[in-house]
Amino acid sequence: MEKELIEGVVTGSYKSFSLLYDMWGAHLFRFVFSLVKSEAIAEDIVQETFVKVWTNRAGLRSDLSFKSYLFTISYHMVLKEFRRTLNHSSMEDYLEYCNTLSLSEASVEQGMDFDTFLIELNRAKTKLTPRQCQIFEMNKEYNYSVSEIAERLSLTEQSVRNQLSTALKIVRSELGDYAFLLLLFYHF
């Protein structure tokens, strides 16, 4: 049935397009919502995805996976949305990590949750001294170099390196199963 609907869309059948939307819209919404955590943004991305499908309908192929095509379009729109709205360069790394798991909504829902990682990271940072936390955040979250931190805090570079090294050991230890995500989100 899907193959016939795709062939109908290629020839310009709005009825076939509506049926494909009914078939995939809710699945796509759940997938996008699991990433963006906003109903309004998820709805917009789903709508834009289907607009793109309609606009590029002449290039649709019924012999290829429509689901993969649809989810790939929405995945790239999610990346674009995060680039536009968030100033957190780590989110793209997270989404690419989710993509390596699989583009299926079930796999992404079962994968690591970015919000949970951030909660665990914030919990881990409470184990740091105020100075260690400040240096960790300046370096890993705001991308200040060791020399910039030393200058701003009136410390020696070696002192900053020592504090940062200790902070990283504590954070890695506290994160447990999430520690490997530090490699994705923070460049060492």
pLDDT tens, position by position, 138-187: 887 777 889 999 999 999 999 999 999 999 889 888 877 666 556 555 54
Q: Given this model, what pLDDT does residue 1 score?
A: 84
Residue type, 47: Q
Going by pLDDT thresholds of 50, 70 and 90, the confidence category of residue 35 is confident
Is the pTM value of this prediction over 0.75?
A: no
Quote the percentage of the chain above a pLDDT of 70: 76
Q: What is the SS3 string spanning the chain?
A: CHHHHHHHHHCCCHHHHHHHHHHHHHHHHHHHHHHHCCHHHHHHHHHHHHHHHHHCHHHCCCCCCHHHHHHHHHHHHHHHHHHHHCCCCHHHHHHHHHHHHCCCHHHHHHCCCHHHHHHHHHHHHCCCCHHHHHHHHHHHHCCCCHHHHHHHHCCCHHHHHHHHHHHHHHHHHHHHHHHHHHHHHCCC
Sequence ranges of the domains in the chain = 2-110, 114-185
Bigger pLDDT: 122 vs 46: 46
Q: Given this model, what pLDDT does residue 183 score?
A: 55
Neighbours of 180 (CB within 10 A): 12
Tell me which fold the domain 114-185 belongs to: Arc Repressor Mutant, subunit A (1.10.10)
User: Encoding tokens for residue 31?
Assistant: 């997938």
Q: Given this model, what pLDDT does residue 107 score?
A: 41
Tell me the angle at which helices 14-36 and 66-85 cross, rounded to the nearest 10 degrees. 50
| CB-count exposure of residue 68 (10 Å: 0-12, 13-18, 19+) | exposed
Per-residue pLDDT tens digits for 62-105 = 888 888 888 888 888 888 877 665 555 455 555 565 565 544 44
CATH of 2-110, one of 1.10.1740.10, 3.40.190.10, 3.40.50.920, 3.40.50.1000: 1.10.1740.10
Going by pLDDT thresholds of 50, 70 and 90, the confidence category of residue 110 is very low
As a whole number, the mean pLDDT across the chain is 80
